[in-house]
């Protein structure tokens, strides 16, 4: 265990929840630094000195700052191996990273076209068109997850991993994107299993 707690820069409703869940599962000592997105604190000079991207999560460690959810999840799992939050074999770890990459590069981007469409277009008509497409894109992403990425009660099979907190976080966005999670029975059951874990309840509190 580190002598100095890690510091997680966090905003509610974001993918940073996945990292907070991982830290709680690992019983890691950490401090939480909340950012007020409504006040645009993520664009403040102070935070940009931590993460020039102006996004969350960012994790301050003794060795430096890490950003991007898949990287932070892998770091927590490897930093606290006793918690057994990731496979130790090469194939299993790569499989976990495959799931993380899909959530980050495909599903998260599909979701972001609703609240943050202005990142990709300036014209109101283009923004509206992207937002209308979000439910369909999220449904397609979760149909693949339902078929291909839930190998058992947990994402990787019989053992819980940081991938489960990540899927739980992203699946939590479905409702706001106009998609009923009940359309995906395996995802829905997984979401409820993860929500019942004490570490997840602490992270949500």
What is d(CA 96, CA 85) in angstroms, rounded to the nearest whole number?
10
So what's the pLDDT on residue 3? Answer: 54
- At residue 116, the pLDDT reads 87
- pLDDT at site 41: 82
Cβ atoms of 165 and 172 closer than 8 Å: no
Quote the pTM value: 0.94
Residue 38 pLDDT: 84
**C-alpha 187 chain-centroid distance:** 15
- Name the stretches of the chain with pLDDT < 70: 1-4
DSSP bridge partners of 6: 30
Give the pLDDT confidence score for residue 37 in this predicted structure.
85
Residue 192 is predicted with a pLDDT of 98
């Amino acid at each position: 265990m580190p002598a100095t707690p890690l510091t997680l820069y966090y905003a509610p409703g974001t993918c940073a929840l996945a990292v907070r869940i991982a830290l709680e599962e690992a019983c890691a000592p950490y401090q939480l630094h909340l950012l007020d997105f409504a006040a645009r604190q993520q664009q403040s000079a102070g935070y940009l000195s931590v993460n020039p991207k102006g996004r969350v999560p960012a994790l301050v460690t003794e060795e430096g700052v890490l950003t991007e959810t898949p990287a932070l999840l892998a770091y927590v799992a490897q930093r606290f191996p006793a918690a057994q939050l990731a496979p130790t074999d090469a194939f299993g770890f790569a499989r976990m990273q495959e799931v993380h990459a899909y959530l980050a590069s495909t599903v998260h981007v599909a979701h972001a076209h609703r609240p943050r469409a202005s990142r990709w277009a300036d014209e109101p008509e283009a923004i509206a068109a992207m937002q209308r497409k979000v439910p369909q894109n999220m449904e397609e992403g979760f149909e693949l997850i339902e078929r291909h990425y839930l190998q058992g009660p947990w994402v990787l099979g019989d053992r819980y991993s940081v991938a489960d907190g990540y899927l739980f976080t992203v699946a939590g966005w479905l409702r706001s994107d106009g998609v009923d999670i009940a359309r995906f029975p395996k995802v829905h059951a997984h979401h409820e299993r993860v929500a019942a874990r004490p570490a997840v309840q602490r992270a949500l509190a």
